[in-house]
Amino acid sequence: MTTESLPVAAARPARRRRIRIGRSTAWVLLILALVLTLFPFYWMIRTALTPAADLATDTSSIWPHHATLINFERVLGLTTTAQDIAAGGSGATLDFLVSLRNSIIYAGLIAAGQTLLCAMAGYAFARLRFRGRELLFGVFVMALMVPPIFTLLPNFALVKSLGWIGTFQGLIAPSLLMTPFAVFFLRQFFLSIPTEVEEAAALDGAGRWIQFWRVVLPMSRGPLFTIGLINAVWGWKDYLWPLLVGPDQNTRVLTAALGIFLQQSPNSAPDWTGLMAAAVLAVVPVALLLVFFGRRLVESLNFTGIK
Amino acid sequence: MAGTDLSGGAVAVAARQRPWAARGESDARRGRRPARRGDGRIAWVFLAPALIGFALFYLYPTIRGAYFSFTDYDLLSSPHSVGFANYTALWHDPLYWNALRVTLQYVVINIVSQTVLALALAWLMFRLTRSVLVRVLLLVPWLVPNVAVGLLWLWLLDANLGLVNHLITAVGGSSQGFFTTPSLAMPTIAMINTWQYTGYTALLFYAGMLQIPGNLYESARLDGAGELRTFTRITLPLLRPILALVLVVSLIGSFQIFDTISITPTHGGPINATRAVYYYIYELAFTQFRMGYACAVAMTLVLILGLLTFVQMRLLRASRSDLS
């Protein structure tokens, strides 16, 4: 699609020149894709640094004429309500630190719980013999295909009847113990590692329980970390469930806080600079995650060398 | 609860671990298990937490959701049975059919654009660079919560002050109400999600391309095959297992479009143009408190996705032969 097909019988120098043109075109396209991916984020930062009063006049300069941090201060609640409204706000704040804390608790607990408990289940499916194993595993895999909203409705009814709306146990309960995907992932992984080490441990008299905790888990740190990271990303991005179950401030996660902050902004003239400052703050943790674990995340999508 | 990602990840893993190979292996092992005793009791200890989680939050709600779909239930008083009334109601509900129609519109635009762009991007990366940095940068939008991405594009595409409209008017076009024009609203939302997930999908395809043995490309080159021919004759056919998986799984994820629609100020509008089925279910359950009816609509979504899953299984089986 990007570089055209080369004629079979082309003379060598002409062919080489065409290849060079083709490669340059391809590079241009790849760089264009990167720009299209990243520029919106730059524009988000740029808008967040623009005073609200300049929005209509200072529309397209690459750097705002009167760069300011007031929008960040407003969103973080560092200004008074009067100052906020004067600067184009609605008086609403994001409670960034509280919702960041809530997001970390939500994503962290889910990731930790799912990873460990699903590792246990995945190990049982991969290594242990018991009646109904294939059937049970099949049922687990089928759960992957049920659209989340279908279980979300009754789960909400359940959490509500338990009186857990607005609590962390209500937030995490449905996803803490298992996610079909992690069971599937880890079972496949345990199937792919050789059994010799466990057999050696068994000869030393270690039972399955000891083998799992002392031998298998330490060997599997890499994949466990990967699935933990992926689980944490889901928790971090999750929106509808935490919005429904943790609507108040002390359990409100970052995505829900952003959505609510948007609703509080007047529809006719949204507080764009404040909204973008809030969005920037929501992206910062992602950027940090990429700086530290970017390579690992990318490589987790990279299923090479396994045959 | 994040449909698309989950499925995408599943694809990566499924393709990575070759479930069919692994299953074959375990079958073989099962076959030669002559004298070993089972691990019955300890197995249930290992499985207990996941089993409890599964029973309480997957199995129980599935049964309960099916039950609710035959009841009238407002979340406050207890549900009472109404037989098939919810299903006959949805059969005559124009908003239901509208929801399916606009969802389908979204899915087609989103899947086609995302797959084509991701394939092109993967091919560019594959031919040009193995840089981790490039891949990390392409992954950024996928990591950002949908709500933040939606917010960002609400601003970029704003009818009055948005950058995109500013650029359009600068080159002589007329300003567009991307979210307020009925014919533009759903394509706009589809393109936002394509923007967010193309890089991620491209990385899955790219990883698949790396699996294709290099000597095939070499012989193609010796035969004088050009770039396009190499891509269509070697890469695309050999990528088919992963392509099929990614395609069908992101199709299922695509049906679950919700976050972007829910933060758009038109709330399913204009004139229901973006009231997709997921959002419709949400409204029924949580703003109209018609939980029974919402469950009936969700049931039909389960059936539709079940059908797609069946197609997926067929594709998976069909793709087996290509691997050998």
Res A8 pLDDT > 90: no
Helix ranges restricted to H, A249-271: 254-264
Distances (CA, A) of A263 to A80, A219, A270, B303: 20, 48, 9, 34
> Does domain B3-14+63-323 match CATH 3.30.360.10?
no
- Full set of structural domains in chain A with CATH: 96-264 (1.10.3720.10)
Q: How far is A191 from chain B (nearest CA, A)?
A: 7
Distance CA(B204)–CA(B11), nearest Å, equals 8
Output DSSP code: residue B81.
E
Which of B:29-68 have CB within 8 Å of A?
Answer: 30, 33, 36, 38-40, 42-47, 49-54, 56-58, 60-62, 64-65, 68
Residue A146's pLDDT band, with cuts at 50, 70 and 90, is confident
How many C-beta atoms lie closer than 10 Å to residue B33's C-beta?
Answer: 10
- Across A33-37, A64-68, B225-229, the highest mean pLDDT is recorded for A33-37
Looking at residue B319, its pLDDT comes to: 52
Please give the pLDDT value at position A302: 63
3-state secondary structure of B72: strand
Amino acid letter at A19? I
- H-only helix segments in chain B: 3-17, 19-31, 40-54, 60-68, 85-91, 94-128, 132-143, 146-156, 163-170, 182-211, 214-222, 227-230, 236-254, 259-263, 277-286, 291-323
Residue B18: per-residue pLDDT: 41
Smallest Cβ–Cβ distance between B57 and the set A151, A255, A299 belongs to A151
Q: Would you say residue A222 has pLDDT above 50?
A: yes
Single-letter code of the amino acid located at A175: S
Write the residue in B47, B132, B208 that is nearest to A298 by C-beta: B132
Cβ–Cβ of B203/A298 closer than 8 Å? yes
How do beta strands B80-81 and B71-72 pair?
antiparallel
Residue B202, amino acid: A
Higher pLDDT: A246 or B316? It is A246
Residues of B in contact with A244 (CB under 8 A): 286
Contact between chains at B10 and A279 (C-beta distance less than 8 A): no
Give A155's contacts in chain B (Cβ within 8 Å). 57, 61
- B-interface mutation test, from A19, A153, A229, most B Cβ less than 10 A away: A153
Nearest to B38 among A120, A129, A144 (CB): A129
Which residues in A105-131 are b (16+ Cβ under 10 Å) and which e?
A: bbbbbbbebbbebbbbbbbbbbbbebe
Average model confidence (pLDDT) for chain A?
A: 84
Look up the pTM and report it. 0.85
Measure in Å the smallest separation between the Cα of A81 and chain B Cα atoms: 23
Q: pLDDT-derived band of residue B173, with 50, 70 and 90 as boundaries? A: confident
- Report pLDDT digits (tens) over B85-138: 999 999 999 999 999 999 999 999 999 999 999 999 999 999 898 888 999 999
State the pLDDT at residue B11.
Answer: 43
Determine which of A79-83, B193-197, B287-291 has the lowest per-residue pLDDT on average: A79-83
pLDDT for res A19: 75
Q: In this complex, do A298 and B259 lie within 8 Å of one another by their Cβ atoms?
A: no
Poorest-pLDDT segment among B34-43, B83-92, B226-235: B34-43
How many CB pairs lie under 8 A apart between chains A and B?
363
Dist CA A61 CA A46 (whole Å): 9
Q: Could you tell me the pLDDT band of residue A1, with boundaries at 50, 70 and 90?
A: very low
Determine which of B46, B223, B232, B309 to mutate to test the interface with A (most A C-beta atoms within 10 Å): B46
Contact call for A56 and B161, based on CB within 8 A:
yes
ipTM score of the complex? 0.85
pLDDT above 70 covers what percent of chain B? 85
Residues of chain A contacting residue B139, judged by C-beta atoms under 8 Å apart? 290, 294, 297-298
Distance from first CA to last CA of chain B, Å, rounded?
Answer: 36
Task: Check CB contact of B134 with chain A, cutoff 8 Å.
Answer: yes
**B279 pLDDT tier (thresholds 50, 70, 90):** very high
